[in-house]
């Protein structure tokens, strides 16, 4: 599995630790930046990961910023992305099962051990094909308002 990962300046150290962890599990990790603690604007990094997911350059995306919220909002502007800001393993599970999320966003203060568990659940959870979930995802996909 190929994972795209990006961060703003607040998450560089966490991204480095996380990349090592994911590679130790056998994942291929593609770094979309930033690699500096110099302040940057996060949207461009979120867009890069979102576009990589939609184009199938990577299977899933992981975004890190101060809160995870800004990256999530920006990434969801890319048509075809379902990015969820996730705080725990339960949210990681249901965002994959119910919403078929393909990008996950987290805050840079998330402890690495928690983040490892969150990602383990996110990457191992299958999307539900229950009619109610399929119907709701289709509603989201077809909205053009």
pLDDT digits (tens, 9 = 90+) for 70-120: 999 999 999 999 999 999 999 999 999 999 999 999 999 999 999 999 999
Which range marks the domain in which residue 106 is found?
2-142
pLDDT digits (tens, 9 = 90+) for 23-47: 999 999 999 999 999 999 999 999 9
Nearest-angstrom CA–CA distance, 1 and 87: 23
Residue length, the chain?
145
DSSP states of the chain: -EEEEEE-GGGHHHHHHHHHHHHHTT-EEEE-S--SSS---SHHHHHHHHHHHHTTSSSEEEEEESSSHHHHHHHTTSTT--EEE--SHHHHHHHHHTT---EEEEETTS-HHHHHHHHHHHHHPPPP--HHHHHHHHHHHH---
Instruction: Determine contact, residues 43/74, Cβ cutoff 8 Å.
Output: yes
Q: What is the arithmetic mean of pLDDT over 117-143?
A: 93
Which CATH number covers residue 6? 3.40.1400.10
Catalytic residue numbers? 65
Q: For the chain, what is the domain count?
A: 1
């Amino acid at each position: 599995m190929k994972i795209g990962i990006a961060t703003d300046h607040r998450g560089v150290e966490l991204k480095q630790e996380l990349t090592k962890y994911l590679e130790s599990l056998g994942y291929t990790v593609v770094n979309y930046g930033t690699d500096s603690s110099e302040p940057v604007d996060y949207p461009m990094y979120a867009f890069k990961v979102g576009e990589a997911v939609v184009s199938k350059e990577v299977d899933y995306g992981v975004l890190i910023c101060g809160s995870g919220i800004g990256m999530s909002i920006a990434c969801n502007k890319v048509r075809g992305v379902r990015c969820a800001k996730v705080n725990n393993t339960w949210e990681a599970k249901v965002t994959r099962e119910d919403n078929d999320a393909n990008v996950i966003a987290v805050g840079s203060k998330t402890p690495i051990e928690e983040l490892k568990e969150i990602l383990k659940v996110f990457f191992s959870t299958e999307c539900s094909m229950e009619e109610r979930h399929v119907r709701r995802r289709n509603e989201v996909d077809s909205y053009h308002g």
